[in-house]
Structures are given as C-alpha cells and as structure tokens.
Amino acid sequence: MDPLKRLLKLIKDNDVQEIYFRVTDMDGNVKHMTHDVKVIDSDAMTEGFDGSSFPGWKEINESDMVLIPDLTTAQMDPFLSVPTLTIICNVFEPVTGERYNRDPRGIAERAETYSRSTGIADTVYVGAEPEFFVFDDVKYQTDPYNTGFKLDSVELPINGDKSYEEGNLGHRIQTKAGYMSTPPQDSGQEMRSDMSAHIRAMGVTVEKHHHEVAPAQHEISTKFNTLVRSADEVQIFKYCVRNVADRYGKTATFMPKPVIGVNGSGMHVHMSLWNGDKPTFAGDEYAGLSESCLYYIGGIIKHAKAINAFTNPSTNSYKRLVPGYEAPVLLAYSARNRSAACRIPFGSNPKAKRVEVRFPDPAANPYLAFAAIQMAGLDGILNKIDPGPAIDKDLYELPQCEKAKIPTVCGSLSEALESLSNDRAFLTAGGVFDDDFIDNYIKMKMDEVTLLETTPNPVEFQMYYSV
C-alpha cells in the first residue's frame, strides 16, 4: 500500500488524536515532539525543530533543522491512552535542503547506499540481540559528598534471607546460573511475553525470549531486517522494554555492566550481504563461508578498535569487555568459539550464512554501530584483508605466549576514541561518515571520559582511604 494511503488509513481506523515524531540523537537517545492530528498537513510534515539542545548537534546560534517523516515507519503507540501515531523522521538542513550530516539515521542510510555503489551487495541484513537487566529498585547519587548506587531485584541471590510480607519463597538465581532458567526462578517470563507483544504491536517480528546468565538479566530476539530498518527496530525494542517494565513497577536498563562479578549485557550483531536473491557470504571456505565473507571479517578485525567507539560507546562498556564473562576481548573468528569477537553461527542452508559480531553492547546507537561495522567489512572486501586462520580453541585458556599474538578490542573509551581519530578513512569512504561528525562525536564522548576520570569512585575509598 502507498505509504501516505496507509498513514491516512491508520489515522482513520484508530481515531488517532495525536502524532509524535521521533528522531535519534548522536548518543542514541530517542527524542520526540507531539502534534495534534488536526494541524497535520503537507506543510506541517516539513516543520523545523530546535536541534541546538541535542548533545553534539547544532550550536544555539544556528538554524533549526527540518524534520521529514518517513511514512513507511508509521505505527500506533501501544502505551498511550490517547490514540497516538508514531513516525520516525529524517533530519535535513533548512538552508541547503540536504540531509543533516550528524543525523545517525542518515549515516546508516548512506552506508546502505555505499554498499550498493560498490557492487558488493545491494542488501545488507542485520539482526541484533540486545540484552538487558530489569530491577525492582534502583538508587544512585552523584552528589560530591554522597556518591554511590544500590540495586535490587527479587531474583538476586542477596535476597535469600530477606523478609517479604508474603513470605520468602526461596527461588533465587545464583551468580552466572540464570541462563534459560524456568519459572519460578525466572520471575520475568510473563513480563518478557508482554514486552514481546508490545514489540510485535509496533511492527517488529519477535522470534524468542529467555532469561540470560545473570540474575535479573534478560534477552528478547527479533528477526533480522535491512540495516536501517533493523536500527529502527532496536529503538522500538528499547522503548517497549522500558515502558512495559515500568508498567510492572520495575525498571529496565541497557547499561552494559551494572553489576560487578556477573555477566554484562551485550548486543550481538548478525550481518549478511546479498545480491538479489544470492547470499554472498556462502561459499566453500572455512565453515562454508565465501572468500568475500572472510575478507569482511578481516576488515572488522582490522578496524575493531575504531569501531569500538560506536559499538561500545560508554565508559561502562569497558567494564564488560573483560575475560571470563563471554564478552569477547580477543579479535579472532571461529565457527564454534563464543569467546571469539566474530562467530560463525551454525547453519547448513547457504541463506543462513552470516557473521555474528559479539563485542558490541546495547548502549550503542544502532544506526552508527551497524554503519561502522558495515563500513569496516566492506573495506575488508575491497582491500582483500586476510583475517588469518580461525581459532577454534577456548581463547581464554590459551597459553599466554599464544594469546599475546592475538589483537584485542580497546580497554577503555578513551582508547577507542583515539583509535577512531587515527583510523577513520574506512568510515569516510563514499561520504558515509565525515570528519565533522567524527570530530564532534569524539569531543562529545571525551566529555564523558573526563567526567568519569575526575569523579572519585566508591571502591577507591575501600582501596585507598586508609593509605
């Protein structure tokens, strides 16, 4: 159906009263403004909005930007009592009429266009698996004289002897023992089903859900889609997860490492390239891969440290990227090894051949993360970057002399930003990213690094107060 006709039908069939327009800022946060449906016409669909308040966007003395709705993304919002339609928008410069260079969705669209222009692939498919925690109570304080946090969930092992009004029923998930557990230990089964229903209601195909490894940690898997649309769906996913949790009187977080000593939350990213109906990653090389797929992996490994700035964009991200918790630190690839940065999921059907990039986390802006991975992979194919031999051993159990030869992801956000500054040519190919965006992104993220590095940490009192 024509997108405009579909939009008008949605408005009529659902007695829509309001429409809210959504954009994603450089940090990955969704912003929106709501219009009364009665004032929406062809002119209102191209109204400007104030972008000067978004981190890393316009200066306050510069022109507002223009919002152009992508009508194909129109969906009913399932959470609001007033019938409300939600539409994702693209951002344009008001003077030139060109796409705003710092609009993350625009960067993702340019990555898709660049893929087609190279002749390597006309379609990029992406499937993301964002993990998340759900807590019953979260308290934190950053006052100069009172800094710290407290987390609680009925699932946590620390509540084994806690007194509850209805009694303590004793079913607790122990540290690192929650993977695919069943109710009543898995207290989130019905909540995840409700989350899944809301995600489906907003047009995203849900495949499965389960409890993750850590107490209070969960995963909902959705079906792959094209690069831009998959990034759209991650944003919808997060919106639904947070709002359903809130309705249950709980709070969901996509923070990569909220708890020390347990697994953090990753966002494994599955990618495959297609030309027409041909999967270009299938072949007769290692694990049934094509030569171009191996080169794609080579590009990801070569540029991984720069990619980290987008796939692991928080200071907290690097508290997850440590050995021992399934988060891959070593830049290797394998068909079996989950400790490898790039895993080849099993699949006998050529259409199932894909690369799973395991180091990203859900703090990432999905538009930027997917675009950066794709650009690295394309650079690998264009320059025939050899990823070296696959490693099917347990990487964490390798002798130190062997492990030292394998490159690693970054150990901090500051290292990732420095790597991005020095290794950016693969991103600017085809005008997908540009230096203005990259420089401003680095500046914005360095402010976060500085804040963390200049703020005393509670554990420092334990280590140093009595020195």
Q: What is the pLDDT of residue 62?
A: 63
Angstrom distance (rounded) from CA 99 to CA 88? 15
pLDDT for 50 equals 59
Is 219 among the catalytic positions? yes
pLDDT of residue 136: 96
Return the top range by mean pLDDT from 160-164, 174-178, 321-325.
160-164
Tens-digit pLDDT profile for residues 323-343: 766 678 889 999 977 788 999
Residue tagged active-site, from 131, 233, 361, 379: 131
pLDDT band at 49 (very low <50, low <70, confident <90, very high): low
- 193: helix, strand or coil: helix
Please report the DSSP string for 138-159 in residue order. EEEEEETTEEEEEEE-TTSGGG
Which is catalytic among the residues 13, 50, 439, 453? 50
| pLDDT value of position 134 | 97
Helix (H) or strand (E) holding 271: strand 267-275
Among 242, 320, 358, 424, the active-site one is: 358
- Answer for the pair 21, 67: CB distance below 8 angstroms, yes or no: yes
Q: How far apart are CA 255 and CA 235, in angstroms?
A: 15
pLDDT at 301: 97
**Domain limits, the chain:** 3-100, 123-464
Active site residue 402: no
State the first-to-last Cα distance of the chain, in angstroms, to the nearest integer: 71
What is the per-residue pLDDT across 393-421, written as a single tens digit (0 to 9) for each? 777 777 888 777 889 999 999 999 999 99
Distance CA(200)–CA(194), nearest Å, equals 10
Residue of 167, 387, 372, 176 lying closest to 261 (CA atoms): 176
> Would you call 172 a catalytic residue per the annotation?
no
- Whether 109 is a known active-site residue: answer no
DSSP 360: -
> So what's the pLDDT on residue 424?
97
Rounded to an integer, the average pLDDT of 66-77 is 91
Residues with Cβ within 8 Å of 171's Cβ and at least 6 positions away in sequence, in order, are 184, 185
Look up 98 and say whether it is catalytic. Answer: no
Tell me the average pLDDT across 295-322: 97
- Residue 347's CB is within 10 A of a number of other CB atoms, namely 13
Annotated active-site residue 326? The verdict is: no
Position 169 pLDDT exceeds 90: no
Among the listed residues 155, 219, 232, 448, the single catalytic one is 219
- Cβ atoms of 203 and 72 closer than 8 Å: no
Weakest-pLDDT range from 38-52, 376-390, 438-452: 38-52
Reading the block at residue 374, the tokens are 């794709």
Q: Give CA–CA dist 109/432, Å, rounded.
A: 8
Residue 60 has pLDDT above 70, yes or no: no
The catalytically annotated residue of 70, 338, 386, 392 is: 338
- What does the alpha-carbon distance between residue 27 and residue 254 come to, in Å, rounded to a whole number? 13
User: Does the domain at residues 3-100 carry the CATH identifier 3.10.20.70?
Assistant: yes
Q: How far is CA 125 from the centre of its chain?
A: 15
Q: Of 136, 212, 232, 448, which is the active-site residue? A: 212
Identify the band that residue 371 occupies on the pLDDT scale cut at 50, 70 and 90: very high
Architecture of domain 123-464: 2-Layer Sandwich (3.30)
> Which residue is associated with the tokens 């639904």?
240
Placement of tokens 């939600």 in the chain:
86
Residue 369 CB partners (closer than 8 Å, separation 6+): 267, 269, 307, 310, 311, 313, 360
CA torsion, ordered 345, 349, 351, 356, to nearest 10 deg? 0
pLDDT at 53: 66
Q: Hey, what are 371's tokens?
A: 């675009």
356 is catalytic: yes
Cα separation of 267 and 102, whole Å?
23
DSSP H helices, 256-311, are 291-311
Catalytic residue among 268, 270, 354, 424: 268
Query: Which is the catalytic residue, given 27, 186, 232, 356?
Result: 356
Task: List the beta bridge partners of residue 287.
Answer: none
**Does the annotation count 131 as an active-site position?**
yes
Mean pLDDT score of the chain, rounded to an integer? 91
Q: Is residue 50 annotated as a catalytic residue, yes or no?
A: yes
Q: Tell me, what's the pLDDT at 39? A: 75
For residues 299 and 306, give the distance between their C-alpha atoms in angstroms, rounded to a whole number.
Answer: 11
Distances 49 to 52, 59, 62, 235, 447 between C-alpha atoms, Å: 9, 13, 12, 21, 26
Helices 227-247 and 104-118 cross at an angle (nearest 10°) of 150
Across 24-28, 60-64, 202-206, 416-420, least confident range: 60-64
Strand blocks (E) in 136-233: 137-143, 146-152, 206-211, 217-222, 225-226
